[in-house]
Structure 1
């Protein structure tokens, strides 16, 4: 018997829904690159249910308990002597999410001698110290691609929300007003603007593809240039540096990994070089941006808007300056945890667990660390730089 510790975000304030806005989900079989969706032997949930919160349990309890395992689900993870810390000491498997990350630091790994599998229900294992996991021969896996399109859709939505001044306009209606001039004074058409994507991986490329019909001029920068045919199809302008892209664009959408080389890459200098009245959308990692510099740029008018769903820390304190800075359209980290995405990452989590307990190989695209080294997708997308410094993958 194994103990599985699952760390999930709290339930809705009113408890789990008794009904849902829609009946079921569209049926998908493949991701855009041809990778098949998760394929567990069975599922014990209805796709479209809320699975990512504590009571949803990722639909795992029946499956795990029928096999004789113990499932412990907690939400408390950050304070001293948290439920996560107390339960971790004898757990063999830890399941966490990027939206409510249970940080598996080297110190926590050292206190968990039985830990053998760290599983991300979603994409992004930067809450795991990959070097410490490698040294302890802990397998690290994530449900690659399960919510990439979800995040891309969120980024496009936030670009439009900023440029069209959507949220302040909506608030006038909620307050009983019909203040058209107040709504229009910061509203523009996206058409004709220069929009740049930083890192055109699965998410960034999906953003570019979804923006093309808007009649914008598309730009991108990343380490490896896209094929010429794809650049021509989308009308892309390639930039070799972040500075070049940000100077050329009205809107910049961030989709790159966080590592020491990208920490605070959007800083005072970059912001000064951008066009006055530019917009930034960040659904990657909060610390790509200098927090205080973003606030100053919004207050001073250099930026016309900032949106995203990633914060540092997560969840942020009530007095976090990004909650109250002007001209922002921030959300909690929800872009990748739609009910659609939850069905995929819950199924993928079960698929990985089925393989793990049966001694079968886990899909190569799901692996991040195995056998004491980076493996699978991890070997292609992550870099271990130093303890607690890892390259996140998008």
Structure 2
């Protein structure tokens, strides 16, 4: 029998909901490109419930305990005395989320001799040391595409919020004011701006498609160029590298994975090459940008705004400078964990566990590391010192 340790974020401060704003969430059967939504044998939850916090347990407890397995669910993940560290010694599986990541470092992996599978409930597996996982033969999997559109929608929202100066305007309304001039002194139309994405995979391409109706000029760069028919359909301008892209756009949205070549990429020099008054939205990974370079650029006016929902580490300290820097639209890491998305990534997590426990192959598109090497989506999206 297997021991599964599941690290999830805390319940709401007021307790888990007894009712929800909506009675249902729309069902999604598949995604662009033909990939189907998760297809577990069964689920033990109601779609639209809060599944991503500790009480929700991703809807896994009944399924696992009926089969004789042990499930440990916790939000306590930091430090040598954390529940995660205490339970790692004999854990076969660790499940985590990008929003509340259990950082599976090489040191932690070394202290988990029984660990065979690391699952991301969602997308993005950079909180796992992939080199260490490959060396140990640990399988790493994620629920690819389960919340990609959720993140794309959040990105478009944050672009509009920055350019239209939405948050300060909302604050005036809450405070009882009618300060039109204060609201519009930093507000612009998105129409006719140059907007670009750094990477155009599942999320980046979804953002480009959603932005086209706004009458913007669309740009992108990616290690894999999109088909010519997609470029024509969306009127895309392709850039050979991110530096060309950064110089050319008013709004830059980041959708690349965190790999050695992107770690700290947006530093003072690269941000400084952007035209004054540009905006950056980063729903990818915080370490792709230099934390303090972003603060300096906002304070100097080089950037007109910065938004995103990814921080490092997660959760960030109370005195993290992004909490108080000017002209920002930061949120906690929530873009991919809507109640709609939770239904999909909980079902996908169960599908992965069903396959692994039954000795059946895990879907290729869910695999990041398998058999000691990058595999499936991992081979397409990630790079390590070996690749």
TM-score, normalized by length of structure 2? 0.98
Give yes or no for contact 2:106–2:129 (8 Å, CA) kept in 1: yes
Aligned pairs for 1:81-92 (under 5 A) are: 81-92=81-92
1:55 shift after superposition: 0.4
1:97 shift after superposition: 0.5
The match for 1:223 is 223
1:380 shift after superposition: 2.1
CA distance in structure 1 between the aligned counterparts of 2:18 and 2:262, rounded to whole angstroms: 43
- Out of 324-333 and 123-132, give the one that drifted further: 123-132
Aligned pairs for 1:262-281 (under 5 A) are: 262-281=262-281
The match for 1:340 is 340
CA distance in structure 1 between the aligned counterparts of 2:148 and 2:39, rounded to whole angstroms: 18
1:236 shift after superposition: 0.6
Does residue 106 of structure 1 match 2:119? no
Give yes or no for contact 2:80–2:86 (8 Å, CA) kept in 1: no
TM-score, normalized by length of structure 1? 0.97
Aligned pairs for 1:308-347 (under 5 A) are: 308-347=308-347
CA distance in structure 2 between the aligned counterparts of 1:378 and 1:302, rounded to whole angstroms: 35
CA distance in structure 1 between the aligned counterparts of 2:111 and 2:37, rounded to whole angstroms: 35
1:79 shift after superposition: 2.3
CA distance in structure 1 between the aligned counterparts of 2:367 and 2:271, rounded to whole angstroms: 37
1:372 shift after superposition: 1.8
1:194 shift after superposition: 0.5
The match for 2:67 is 67
Q: Per-residue displacement from partner, 1:132-154 (whole Å, max 9, x unpaired)?
A: 11121111111111011111111
- Out of 69-78 and 129-138, give the one that drifted further: 129-138
The match for 2:13 is 13
- Residue 170 of structure 1: SS of its match in structure 2? helix
CA distance in structure 2 between the aligned counterparts of 1:278 and 1:360, rounded to whole angstroms: 49
Aligned pairs for 1:278-293 (under 5 A) are: 278-293=278-293
1:246 shift after superposition: 1.2
Consecutive unaligned residues in structure 1, runs of 5 or more: none
The match for 1:178 is 178
The match for 1:200 is 200
Q: Per-residue displacement from partner, 1:55-74 (whole Å, max 9, x unpaired)?
A: 00000001001101111001
- Residue 140 of structure 2: SS of its match in structure 1? strand
CA RMSD between the two structures: 1.1
1:286 shift after superposition: 0.7
Consecutive unaligned residues in structure 2, runs of 5 or more: none
The match for 1:123 is 123
Aligned pairs for 1:251-262 (under 5 A) are: 251-262=251-262
Count residues in correspondence: 387
1:377 shift after superposition: 1.6
Q: Per-residue displacement from partner, 1:106-151 (whole Å, max 9, x unpaired)?
A: 1111111111111110111111111111121111111111011111
Q: Per-residue displacement from partner, 1:44-96 (whole Å, max 9, x unpaired)?
A: 00000000000000000010011011110010101231110001111111100
- Residue 384 of structure 1: SS of its match in structure 2? coil
The match for 1:42 is 42
- Residue 90 of structure 2: SS of its match in structure 1? coil
The match for 2:379 is 379
CA distance in structure 2 between the aligned counterparts of 1:259 and 1:16, rounded to whole angstroms: 36
Give yes or no for contact 2:79–2:85 (8 Å, CA) kept in 1: no
Q: Which runs of 4+ in 1 moved over 3 A?
A: none
CA distance in structure 2 between the aligned counterparts of 1:18 and 1:140, rounded to whole angstroms: 35
Aligned pairs for 1:154-193 (under 5 A) are: 154-193=154-193
CA distance in structure 1 between the aligned counterparts of 2:134 and 2:241, rounded to whole angstroms: 32
1:244 shift after superposition: 1.3
Give yes or no for contact 2:89–2:112 (8 Å, CA) kept in 1: yes
